[in-house]
Amino acid sequence: MSELPDLLQTADFKSEKHVPVIACPDSVTAGEAFEVSVGVGKEVDHPNTTEHHIRWIRLYFHPEGGKVPYEVANVEFTAHGESAQGANEGPVTTHHAAKVMMKTNQPGTLLALSYCNIHGLWRSNKALAVV
């Protein structure tokens, strides 16, 4: 049986379209809100079709020295061009990116997971300093 860590894939987002990309300041002020953007396909576009799409992105914060990460956001992308007329005939698709406002008093690591319906789970992380 596979273990979850064995199923999490990672790569350089500049050459791999499945890696979630976290964009935020490298350092933030304790207790002040800041914006975190997370998306898939920054440098290499990921398809968004009925047959091949990003289903969701989850963002976590793991405080430095902490035992567990905390879920910050869970974004589901539910429209991929499907319709009663057939695959990719629908009037709407969602784009696999989101922005979240958050605060923290501790330094740590932001972790992002994304799920592609064909290629599985992908992860990335970004260190966050607090001043």
Tell me, what CATH number does 13's domain have? Answer: 2.60.40.730
Query: For each successive 10 residues of the chain (131 residues), what is the average pLDDT?
Result: 74 76 98 97 86 97 97 97 94 95 98 95 96 95
Which one of 53, 80, 82, 116 is the catalytic residue? Answer: 116
Provide the pLDDT for residue 104.
Answer: 98
46 is catalytic: yes
53 is catalytic: no
Domain count, the chain: 1
Provide the pLDDT for residue 12.
Answer: 67
Provide the pLDDT for residue 13.
Answer: 62
The two beta strands, 108-116 and 120-130, are antiparallel
Which one of 14, 17, 24, 43 is the catalytic residue? Answer: 17
Which one of 18, 53, 80, 96 is the catalytic residue? Answer: 18
Provide the pLDDT for residue 1.
Answer: 67
The domain in which residue 83 lies consists of: 4-130
Amino acid symbol at 90:
G
CA atoms within 13 A on the CB side of 100: 21
Provide the pLDDT for residue 41.
Answer: 84
Which one of 46, 53, 80, 96 is the catalytic residue? Answer: 46
Q: What is the pTM of this model?
A: 0.89
